[in-house]
Chain A
Amino acid sequence: MDDKAQELLYKKYFGYALTVALLYSTDRNDAIEVVDDSFLKVFSEIKKFDISQPFKGWLRKIVINTAIDKFRKKNRRIDFKETDSVAIQDTAPGPISCLTAQDIMKLLNCLPHTYKTVFCLYDIEGYSHDEIAAKLKIPASSSRVYLTRARKQMRELYNKHIND
Chain B
Amino acid sequence: MSKEKEIGEVIKEALNGHEESYIEGAWETFTSKRKRKALIYRLSASGVAAAILLGLIIIGTLNQPLPEGLTAQKEPVKVIETPQQIVNEVPGQVTAVAESQPSSISVMGQAKISPDSAGSSTKTAVSSTKTAVSSTSSSVSSTNIIAQNTEKNEAAEVKTAAVTEAQKAAAVTESQPQTQKQPTNQYNNQPLTQLNSLSTTESSPKTSRKDSKLGSERRVRIGVNVAPGFNTTADASAFNYSGGVNVEIPLSKKLQISTGVSLEHSNVDERSSPRNAAVPSYQTIASLTNLDIPINITWKITSYKKTSYYVGAGLSALAYLSENYTTTTRTQLLRENTSFDGDEYISTYRLETVERVTTSSGSPNSAFDIGGRVNLVFGVEQRLTPKLNLSIEPFMKIPVSGLATKNMIYTTGGVTFKVTF
A interface vs B, CB < 8 Å? 3-4, 7, 10-11, 14-16, 18-19, 22-23, 32, 36, 39-40, 90, 92, 94-97, 99-102, 104-105, 108, 119, 122-124, 151, 154-155, 158
What's the nearest-Cβ distance from chain B to residue A119, in Å?
Answer: 8
Taking CB atoms, residues of chain A closer than 8 Å to B21 are 15
Would B14 and A124 count as touching, CB distance under 8 A? no
Cα A101 to Cα B29 with chains together (Å) = 27
- 7 interchain pairs (CB within 8 A)? A10-B27, A14-B22, A14-B26, A15-B22, A19-B19, A122-B8, A123-B8
Residues from 261 to 283 in B contacting A, C-beta threshold 8 Å: 273-274
Taking CB atoms, residues of chain B closer than 8 Å to A97 are 10
Instruction: Name A101's contact: one of B3, B14, B235 (CB within 8 Å).
Output: B14
Taking CB atoms, residues of chain A closer than 8 Å to B19 are 15-16, 19
Taking CB atoms, residues of chain B closer than 8 Å to A32 are 23, 26
Instruction: Name B273's contact: one of A3, A39, A99, A151 (CB within 8 Å).
Output: A3
Would A19 and B15 count as touching, CB distance under 8 A? yes
Instruction: Name B7's contact: one of A18, A23, A36, A123 (CB within 8 Å).
Output: A123
Would B26 and A123 count as touching, CB distance under 8 A? no
Would A18 and B273 count as touching, CB distance under 8 A? no
Cα A3 to Cα B35 with chains together (Å) = 13
Size category of the B interface is 20 to 34
Taking CB atoms, residues of chain A closer than 8 Å to B34 are 40
Additional A-B contact list (4), CB under 8 Å, known A96-B7, A123-B11: A39-B30, A40-B37, A92-B7, A96-B10
Instruction: Name A92's contact: one of B3, B15, B23, B29 (CB within 8 Å).
Output: B3
Cα A15 to Cα B9 with chains together (Å) = 22
Taking CB atoms, residues of chain A closer than 8 Å to B273 are 3, 7
Q: Would you call B1 an interface residue if the criterion is a C-beta within 8 Å of the partner chain's C-beta atoms?
A: yes
Cα A64 to Cα B3 with chains together (Å) = 26
Q: Would you call B350 an interface residue if the criterion is a C-beta within 8 Å of the partner chain's C-beta atoms?
A: no
Cα A123 to Cα B10 with chains together (Å) = 10
Q: Would you call B12 an interface residue if the criterion is a C-beta within 8 Å of the partner chain's C-beta atoms?
A: yes
Taking CB atoms, residues of chain A closer than 8 Å to B27 are 7, 10-11, 14
Taking CB atoms, residues of chain A closer than 8 Å to B29 are 36
Would A124 and B12 count as touching, CB distance under 8 A? yes
Cα A89 to Cα B37 with chains together (Å) = 50
Q: Would you call B20 an interface residue if the criterion is a C-beta within 8 Å of the partner chain's C-beta atoms?
A: yes
Taking CB atoms, residues of chain B closer than 8 Å to A151 are 4, 7-8
Would A36 and B14 count as touching, CB distance under 8 A? no
Please name the 4 residue pairs, one residue from A and one from B, whose CB atoms are nearest each other, closest first: A123-B8, A101-B18, A18-B20, A15-B20
Q: Would you call B33 an interface residue if the criterion is a C-beta within 8 Å of the partner chain's C-beta atoms?
A: yes
Q: Would you call B344 an interface residue if the criterion is a C-beta within 8 Å of the partner chain's C-beta atoms?
A: no
Taking CB atoms, residues of chain B closer than 8 Å to A39 are 30
Cα A94 to Cα B1 with chains together (Å) = 12
Would A99 and B10 count as touching, CB distance under 8 A? yes
Given contacts A40-B34, A100-B14, contact A3 B235 (CB under 8 A): yes
